[in-house]
A = this chain, B = another copy of it.
């Protein structure tokens, strides 16, 4: 079916090994034969068989990304960053989606990756329940993992976004604008990311001597609809609220909509800030203030770190796992501004 080294060798009148040398341009081959072999390769359309190479070299030049889902913006961007950098580094990426319903298939997924002999894993799913218990010495020996927002662990590489820091920036901005009773619409509570953002919110309120009561908390699930409902319950429970921190932009948009329906005019009666800077957040009415994260770049960085580790391991050295943290930036638009109703 496909052209092999041996086909090319026969055609060029040399040994298999010589062709192999030319392909990987390694070792000494005379200019003359190199030309001849190159011509044969060109002519026959030879493409090396990576499977065979992987088998003998004991590495597949493949890294797996195990993802929770691509339907949100940030995860998609992360995967794009991973794909781009992997391409540039000469690695292929194997995409695996975790089933959200089943807990127990983590083990299955991992076994499948071992079977495919991937050189490393990028774990791109929130730590919920015991779904990261697989990170144990036995597994670590098989393939090095890099975990997004992972727990500190001396044997595991991690790239993280400092969500608590980001949340602090967002809420501090609300405080600076003069808002005083600041509620929060959280993400899915079982996601560590959501927990971190809630902590940041707490930090700022406490530092500023503002009220920080459970009645200011409404739980969302990252969807716009949940944001809408959350703001409704919040306003009902605490009519004195004058601002709200939505833990992502979609929920922020839901909140904007709920506010309008409740007759609360954003910027005058209510400050709103989101988190994630999704496309479109700029075009809500009013435009949604938010936190920006360079997630694409984080994906690239993840691959860089992981590949460095893989290469090192192949050379017998054991690179100490590095850690990379990204810090979000505040994007001030209109929804968080406090107009004091002056222009009424």
Contact = CB atoms under 8 A, between A and B. Distances in A.
Nearest to A84: B97
A50 B117 CA distance: 8
A70 interface: yes
A115 B55 contact: no
A112 interface: yes
A54 interface: yes
In this complex, which of A69, A93, A284 has the most chain B Cβ atoms within 10 angstroms of its Cβ? A284
Copy number of this protein in the oligomer?
2
A255 to B, nearest CB: 9
Interface stretch (A25-33, A74-82, A125-133, A193-201): A74-82
A60 interface: yes
Interface string A98-126: 00000000000001101111000000000
A51 interface: yes
A320 interface: no
Contacts of A302: none
A169 interface: no
| Range class of the A interface residue count | 35 or more
A94 to B, nearest CB: 6
A179 to B, nearest CB: 22
B228 A257 contact: no
Contact of A83 (B49, B96, B257): B96
Given A73-B71, A96-B87, A117 B49 contact: yes
Contact of A223 (B50, B58, B70, B279): B279
Which 8 residue pairs across A and B have the least CB separation, nearest first?
A: A70-B76, A253-B283, A83-B97, A95-B95, A257-B283, A224-B283, A47-B114, A50-B115
Interface of A: 1-2, 45, 47-52, 54-55, 58, 60, 65, 69-71, 73, 76-77, 79-80, 83-84, 87, 92-97, 111-112, 114-117, 138, 142, 223-225, 227-228, 249-250, 253-254, 256-257, 260, 278-280, 282-285, 287
17 contacts: A2-B117, A48-B115, A50-B116, A50-B117, A51-B51, A51-B60, A55-B55, A70-B77, A71-B80, A76-B76, A83-B97, A93-B95, A95-B95, A224-B282, A227-B283, A228-B283, A280-B280
